[in-house]
Amino acid sequence: MKVTYDAETCTHAGECVKGAPNVFKVVDGAFVIDTAADSEENIRATVGNCPSGALKIHE
């Protein structure tokens, strides 16, 4: 599973960081997505909670 992020769509609500802080984080000023850091179930739920739709799952 791959997760992508659209910076132009993001409203910075922070739901991704709250839902899966080990997966979605800012490192040295860059948004990082580490899908190996949590369960697929939690990542899918967190992406589903993104209010702007900036996060997308690609199979």
CATH of the domain at 36: 3.30.70.20
pLDDT digits (tens, 9 = 90+) for 22-54: 999 999 999 999 999 999 999 999 999 999 999
State the total domains in the chain. Answer: 1
Within 10 angstroms of residue 55's Cβ, the number of other Cβ atoms is 21
Residue whose C-alpha is closest to residue 54's, from 1, 12, 25: 12
Answer yes or no: pTM beyond 0.85: yes
Compute, in degrees rounded to 10, the torsion defined by CA atoms 39, 22, 15, 30. -130
Tally the C-alpha atoms within 13 A of residue 17's C-alpha that lie toward its C-beta: 10
Q: Which domain holds residue 24?
A: 2-58
